[in-house]
Amino acid sequence: MSTDWLGKVPEDIEAERSLLATICAEGFHREMDEILAILTPAHFVHPSHVALFESFVRLHVSRQDINPLAFKADMEAHKTLNKVRGYVGILEILEAPEVGKPLVLAELLHDRWSRRQIQKVSAKIVREVVDTSIPIPELFSEVKDLEQISSISPILTVCGAGEFLDTPAPEASWLIPGLIPLGVPAVMAAKGGMGKSMISLQMCITLATGKAFFTFDAQPPMGAIYFGLEDSKEIFHARLRSIVDHYKACDDWSYEDDQNLRFNFSAPFINYAAKNASPYLPLILPNLESILKRNSIQGVSPGVIILDTLSRISEGDENTVQAIRPILNACHALAGHGYTPIALHHVAKGQDGARAAGSAKSSRPKLADRMSVDYVRGSSAIGDNFRCVTQLTPLLEHEAEGIGLDPDKARAGGYLIFGATKLNGGMKADWIFIEQDEHGRWFAPQSGMETLAKLRGGQALAAHSKQMAVLGSIHEARFAPDVDRAALAAQHFSDSADPANALRQLLMRLRRAGLIQQGKRTDPLRLTFKGINAITNIISRDVEPIEFYSEMPILSISFYFVTRGI
């Protein structure tokens, strides 16, 4: 075996010279912040280059001119001019050929530096492994040092203003539009036993197959991973088959759905027989990342990874900032692969909407209070650190009875309100009303929007009635290139001082509710799946949208959702 590699040092002296000549050229400003975020003097090998780069950093930070005379004065002041062989040495370095992409050279030098660090640690391991007096655990600690050396990525990536000014801002990427962003750590919180696991599994199946999740618009099929730590593999198996069998029984499961689920969905389980097996997320992170990397190689689009539950993937009290930080860092690492990690969590005890025996209605928490980040267990740690929080809260008996629903089913937790209570970086959709069937699956009845409006009271009913009337007019004009907004404003807001502005405000609320498609104000008005579902429900009753509240009873379950959806 050849040993020519022994004694070689990973370096590129010419790249060092070219980079220094480029960044020291008159008028150079491009990518300067990015380069300084990647490199330090330690990344250079040649002593002259180390000294010149040190001087360059001092001049740049103090906003002085960058030129040979400035280098000479600075290095004389710091007694380092002899390291570059005087003023002539400075000129020789700066005469090297300049390059058009200095950031590429900076990354190359960082790569060579990383390789040198690996070389040093490896040499130390080779020396010590033959010394039998050194315990094996100490040798393994040296191996861990190798894992901590990054090959290219700096800790900080600094972006200059030009990056933001010279390119359009990216549009928000959604896992589920209006509910959960893509690539952002999130939490789903609810009282224990309220259906978080079943609902999140339904979410995984719909995302993996490209079906609609409740009333939200369907997305193209994407990756879905369910990392469950609460239930056994057997229980998980039964739940997944129950959901899929229901689709099949409703004749809503195709060969393509089957293939998409097989391709996009996976469910890792911890093998506790393995040495050092632990559910702690920072420790299991490399294993989960390997699944995401495999998915990427196979062409699976990034989607969701469910972490069931936050308490099981944490150590200590998961409700404290100290305990949540390593979990959040691990979640950000998963999000770095384009996925949305959703940790299932609980609401605080006594703040889950439960009714104490004999308690007065006035002492029971209202719906708006229960659907609040303040009700999530460890609310400050969760609310301050996760960018998206969704919540589920049960409908209480008196609430269900007051709007004509079954109070016994409400007592059993069969009705839920579901939605985002914190959402950074996008327009938040309205909450939805969902109901549980006899097999434990959840579905969104067509009358859900009406039910939610009735829960909110008379003013919400009137506002919702107006929204449905406008939605109906947009639906009627669906075959036209666009809706005549002036005519729409005159038809529905003739009593307003400013009909056009009143219509704009209502359209904004319809977008926020997920009833019309997102877009610019000038884009054509088009209904979403949820909007089409809402207006179809009204049309099927054969009544005018503005009148349906007073003339029609609530329909708890519609034929469409019983036979076509979950």
Given a cut of 60, whether residue 540 has pLDDT beyond it is no
Overall average pLDDT of the 30-54 stretch:
85
Find tokens 């995401």 and name the residue. 292
What pLDDT is stored for residue 69 in this prediction?
92
Structure tokens at 336: 């770095």
Lowest mean per-residue pLDDT among 176-180, 364-368, 537-541: 537-541
Quick one: pLDDT band at residue 30, thresholds 50, 70, 90? Answer: low
> What pLDDT is stored for residue 349 in this prediction?
65
Report which of 511, 202, 193 is spatially closest to residue 342, judged by C-alpha positions: 202
Q: Is the pLDDT higher at 316 or at 155?
A: 316
Mean pLDDT of 282-297: 90
| pLDDT band (50, 70, 90) for residue 38 | confident
Task: Give the whole-angstrom CA distance, residue 177 versus residue 164.
Answer: 25
What is the reported pLDDT for 245?
93
Per residue in 64-98, pLDDT (tens digit) is 888 899 999 999 999 999 999 999 999 999 998 88
Summarised one tens digit per residue, pLDDT across range 403-453 is 889 999 999 999 999 999 998 877 788 899 999 988 888 998 888 888 888
Spatial CA neighbour of 288 closest among 231, 225, 223: 225
Domains of the chain with bracketed CATH: 13-147 (1.10.860.10), 174-444 (3.40.50.300), 456-560 (1.10.10.10)
Secondary structure (3-state) at 270: coil
Query: Could you identify the residue written with the tokens 């979410």?
Result: 203
CA atoms in the 13 A half-sphere facing the CB of 351 = 17
Residue pair 510/467 in contact (Cβ under 8 Å)? The answer is yes
